[in-house]
Amino acid sequence: MRVLHPRGSLCWQVGNHVQNGEIFPLDLVLYPIFKKHELRLRNRIVWHFEHGLHGSRRLSGRYETVLWFTKGDEYTFNLDAIRVPSKYPGKKYYKGPKAGRLSCNPLGKNPGDVWILPNVKFNHVEKTLHPCQFPVELIERLVLALTDPGDTLLDPYAGAGSALLAALMHGRRAIGCDVVPEYVKITLDRIEALRAGTLRTRPRERSIYDPKLPRGGHARG
């Protein structure tokens, strides 16, 4: 709260803590702490992915959440920067005063609060030695929507540096730290690769693999 800009956002990404087969949704557990600091929840984004451990005594866990808080009621939110293709892009009003005009935003639709993005498993192009890194594209959407070029992103639990990379890729500044020196080294190496143009990331525009569709016919999540 001390270093957060008045128009700034705080995003807290967590899954479930699992103990003896019982799950503890960490966003629910932590929410009162954020409220104590008078942060305002704007969205509870559900990040859905298809891969993970297979449950035998409960349903397999296939989502985590991002709690998006703002410090105040005036906050940066660039919706146009993260619009996704509309389902029916050419659809028009067929009656009334707007008849014949496009009924949807030509820039695309609001991506909603359920985001379908592959998680970083062993065959993902971004995989490093870090055991639980985010896909860069998850943070890219947050960076584009919640910050302007030149703004600064702080990730105090930087891991393999995915959030820092998302910020740097889009002209933002980035500060990060981690208690494990090996992870800091991975982050620095990835930043160096970004500068050298050799960093491999999954492009934001790439469609999600769907085994039911013919090759090349995948829908964007």
Ligand X SMILES: C[S@@+](CC[C@H](N)C(=O)[O-])C[C@H]1O[C@@H](n2cnc3c(N)ncnc32)[C@H](O)[C@@H]1O
Residues of the shown chain interacting with ligand X in the complex, contacts defined by CB under 6 A: 130, 132-134, 156-157, 159-160, 162-163, 177-180, 183
Cβ proximity to ligand X: between 93 and 157 the closer is: 157
In the complex, what is the shortest distance from the CB of residue 55 to ligand X, in angstroms, rounded to a whole number? 21
Closest residue to ligand X, based on beta-carbon distance: 159
Cβ proximity to ligand X: between 18 and 102 the closer is: 18
Assigned token pair, 122: 């062993």
The closest alpha carbon to 201, from 130, 134, 131, 112, belongs to: 134
| The dihedral sign for the CA sequence 206, 193, 132, 2 | negative
In the complex, what is the shortest distance from the CB of residue 62 to ligand X, in angstroms, rounded to a whole number? 18
In the complex, what is the shortest distance from the CB of residue 162 to ligand X, in angstroms, rounded to a whole number? 3
Cβ proximity to ligand X: between 68 and 216 the closer is: 68
**13 and 19 Cβ atoms separated by less than 8 Å:** no
User: How far is residue 64's CA from residue 46's CA, in Å, rounded to a whole number?
Assistant: 6
User: How far is residue 133's CA from residue 113's CA, in Å, rounded to a whole number?
Assistant: 21
User: How far is residue 122's CA from residue 170's CA, in Å, rounded to a whole number?
Assistant: 26
In the complex, what is the shortest distance from the CB of residue 123 to ligand X, in angstroms, rounded to a whole number? 17
In the complex, what is the shortest distance from the CB of residue 138 to ligand X, in angstroms, rounded to a whole number? 8
Cβ proximity to ligand X: between 151 and 178 the closer is: 178
Cβ proximity to ligand X: between 79 and 189 the closer is: 189
In the complex, what is the shortest distance from the CB of residue 205 to ligand X, in angstroms, rounded to a whole number? 20
Give, in degrees to the nearest 5, the angle at Cα 113 between 112 and 116: 90
Cβ proximity to ligand X: between 33 and 99 the closer is: 33
